Amino acid sequence: MAISFDEVEVGTELPAQSFPVTRATLVQYAGASGDFNPIHWNEKFALEVGLPDVIAHGMFTMAEAVRVVTDWVGDPAAVVEYGVRFTKPVPVPNDGVGAVIEVSGKVAALLDGRRVRVDLLATSGGQKVLGMSRAVVQLG
């Protein structure tokens, strides 16, 4: 179901979602993206370079966050702009559970041309992991 511009107002909340991340998820993403940096799969290396553990790929975290918007609007092509600042890494422990990325969003502005700006909040382990996470969405 597509969202109409007339159905939203500033403050409209998007359904929040949780995205589990395991070491297996990171291996799959590395294969799909071609990013085999050892900070994403080698715990010893990650610790040696000062990270708390193996960390999720930044682009993976960014992609999971925007899923809240694409699921809400019903059409990934409706996202006409998207940007974030990476504020903290998402450590993914090798404990069989991994990590969870929690994402919520709300309409922050009504723009011209039936577009809206959605601001996202992405956290993991109680820490904000993306800053200035904003998407501009073209609505019908």
pTM: 0.94
> pLDDT of 29-87, one tens digit each?
999 999 999 999 999 999 999 999 999 999 999 999 999 999 999 999 999 999 999 99
**pLDDT value, residue 1:** 56
Domains detected in the chain: 5-20+57-138 (3.10.129.10)
Share of the chain above pLDDT 70, in %: 99
State the DSSP code for 75. -
**Which of helix, strand or coil describes residue 49?**
coil
Contacts of residue 65, defined as CB under 8 A and 6 or more positions apart, other chains included, come to 84, 101, 103, 120, 122, 130, 133
Bridge partner residues of 119 (DSSP): 106, 134
Q: Give the mean pLDDT of the chain.
A: 97
